[in-house]
Amino acid sequence: MLRIALVLPVLLLILRGEYGWALLLFWIAGFSDGIDGYLATRFNWASRMGALLDPIADKLLVAGMFVTLSYTQHIPIWLTAVVLFRDVVIIGGAVAYNYLIKPVEGEPTRISKINTVVQLLFLLFVLSRAAFGWPDQVSITVLGTATLVTVVTSGIDYVVQWADRARKGV
């Protein structure tokens, strides 16, 4: 819930050009995600609601930051479009699967987890560069390329896996 509550302040700070403060709140959101994951795993505090809210919080923060950083011309709009398209396909597929076949269990794939980490690192680097002029543009470009590759790969992976499950009815 904390990450969801931090989304709007982070985005507003970016729009106001207060990148250092946005970076701090982004770090807090990331830290709370790590603590949440650790506690859920360590003490078996997993729940269906948590399994659904966790990716929603991630999507809101990541999608919001991509859109806002594109608006402020820190990220190319075409990369934001690819990221958002993947999310729309995954969410649309999950909703269809949930209503047509059976309830969806929140289970991210390995490539999806890698994709999330790469996207978060990319956003962290972009925001850090906007705030402090570091890291250099080459690092941003490399992470942007990695983001594109993992977004496309994980999107295709989800479509193939869930289409196969739908055909099998599981």
Per-residue pLDDT of 36-77, as tens digits, reads 888 888 898 877 777 778 878 888 999 999 999 999 999 999
Q: Are 82 and 148 in contact (CB under 8 A)?
A: yes
Q: Which residues, 6 or more positions from 89, have their beta carbon under 8 angstroms from its beta carbon?
A: 155, 158, 159
Q: Residue 106 has what pLDDT?
A: 65
Q: Residue 80 has what pLDDT?
A: 98
Using CA atoms, how far apart are residues 62 and 86, in angstroms rounded to an integer?
Answer: 12
Q: Residue 38 has what pLDDT?
A: 86
Give phi and psi for 163, each to the nearest 5.
-65, -40
Quick check: pTM over 0.75? yes
What structural domains does the chain harbor? 2-168 (1.20.120.1760)
